[in-house]
């Protein structure tokens, strides 16, 4: 009897002791004792190496011409520029990767038409608080039945009309593939006249709408560059098949101008961030086109003061093969896209578009809106 009572008493003491220790620990963990310790309990963040990208460490290089061109050095002198560390796509954006963007635009337009004309379940009109969403959120888990009679009728708007069809082929009208996005003009918002005055708390701030801009871009590549820009070559087969045929899936996408590259960067950012947020992770900063300094740093391949990235002063190897993407004639400029990731906090995703260069190393201008990049 005494042994049993002793065991119960010891058990109660241990229980009370553990409870007391727990209360003290909890109280200390939730008390900053009046000290500046920052917000506690913040989730940790780790930047994984992006798929398909290679790392380039931060450093400095001499930006500008590296050959012995004395007259040029007077009006375009070289200068030392520092660049932060970044990741870069190991290869250019391929036809198949850009096609993912094209299919996204195509399917989003199709889902909107289906939701408005056949099945409202293809988009969400209200959120959980019964607030109207404008525009509605598309539902991507439902499949598009392109050959269903009802779907086929409402999707007819996306196709070429009868008198524009070639051999009666029912094909998507690429002019309908328009990507719409919004961006914030931070350069304008950062001007002094728009900045917040901490002393004046009565004057209302400027309307933020003036810094929000909408862009609408036809995103299908210009496949006719193969014919229009190669005056003395028979490139009709490339114009017909280069972008869509599986044989060219892993070839660089061409015929993409500056505005289309910007739209691609915006889509890739949204596509990644939507996935990260849905997974409970933090979003990343935007993919973007690079500055001139960032592009030249990447194109040099770590060889400062070299005329070409491979280090030599020659454009052919000992077998006569070109060592770079040089064009044999002086009439064509093709744009390819590559992306960078700046591993800083906050990190920045950089999307690169640059032209194929000439044997003399000087790229020609693209269309009026094409101002991307420098030589590789």
| Span 22-72, pLDDT tens digits | 665 555 556 778 889 998 888 888 877 878 878 888 889 888 776 666 676
| Span 207-226, pLDDT tens digits | 788 889 999 999 999 999 99
| Span 312-365, pLDDT tens digits | 777 888 888 888 766 554 444 444 555 555 554 333 344 544 333 333 333 333
What's the confidence (pLDDT) of residue 349? 42
- Mean pLDDT within 82-107: 90
Residue owning tokens 């006249």: 193
Residue pair 93/339 in contact by the 8 Å Cβ criterion: yes
User: Alpha-carbon distance 283 to 181, whole Å?
Assistant: 18
| Span 127-165, pLDDT tens digits | 777 777 777 888 888 888 888 888 888 888 898 888 888
Q: Pick 76 or 29 by higher pLDDT.
A: 76
| Span 188-207, pLDDT tens digits | 888 877 776 666 666 666 77
Q: Pick 132 or 92 by higher pLDDT.
A: 92
């Amino acid at each position: 009897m005494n042994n049993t009572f002793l065991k119960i008493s010891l058990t109660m003491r241990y229980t009370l002791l553990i409870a007391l220790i727990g209360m003290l620990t909890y109280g200390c963990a939730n008390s900053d004792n009046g000290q500046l310790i920052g917000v506690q309990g913040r989730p940790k963040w780790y930047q994984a190496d992006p798929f398909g990208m290679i790392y380039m460490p931060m450093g400095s290089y001499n930006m500008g011409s590296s050959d012995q061109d004395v007259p040029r050095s007077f009006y375009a002198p070289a200068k030392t520029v520092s660049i932060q560390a970044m990741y870069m796509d190991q290869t250019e954006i391929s036809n198949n990767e850009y096609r993912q963007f094209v299919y996204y635009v195509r399917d989003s337009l199709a889902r909107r038409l289906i939701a408005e004309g056949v099945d409202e379940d293809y988009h969400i009109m209200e959120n959980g608080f019964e607030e109207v969403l404008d525009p509605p959120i598309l539902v991507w888990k439902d499949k598009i039945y392109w050959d269903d009679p009802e779907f086929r009728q409402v999707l007819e708007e996306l196709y070429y009309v009868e008198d524009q069809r070639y051999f009666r082929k029912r094909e998507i009208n690429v002019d309908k593939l328009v990507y719409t996005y919004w961006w914030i003009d931070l350069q304008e918002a950062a001007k002094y006249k728009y900045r917040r005055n901490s002393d004046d708390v009565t004057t209302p701030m400027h309307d933020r709408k003036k810094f929000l801009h909408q862009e609408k871009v036809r995103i299908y590549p210009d496949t006719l560059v193969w014919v229009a820009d190669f005056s003395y070559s028979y490139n009709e087969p490339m114009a017909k098949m280069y972008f869509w045929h599986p044989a060219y899936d892993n070839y660089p996408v061409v015929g993409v101008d500056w505005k289309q590259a910007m739209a691609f960067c915006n889509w890739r950012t949204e596509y990644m961030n939507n996935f990260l947020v849905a997974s409970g992770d933090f979003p990343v900063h935007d993919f973007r086109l690079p500055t001139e300094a960032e592009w030249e740093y990447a194109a040099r391949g770590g060889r400062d003061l070299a005329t070409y990235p491979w280090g030599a002063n020659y454009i052919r190897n000992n077998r006569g093969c070109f060592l770079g993407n040089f064009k044999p004639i002086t009439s064509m400029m093709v744009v390819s896209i590559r992306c960078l990731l700046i591993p800083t906090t906050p990190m920045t995703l950089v999307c690169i578009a640059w032209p194929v260069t000439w044997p003399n190393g000087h790229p020609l201008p693209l269309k009026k809106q094409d101002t991307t990049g420098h030589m590789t």
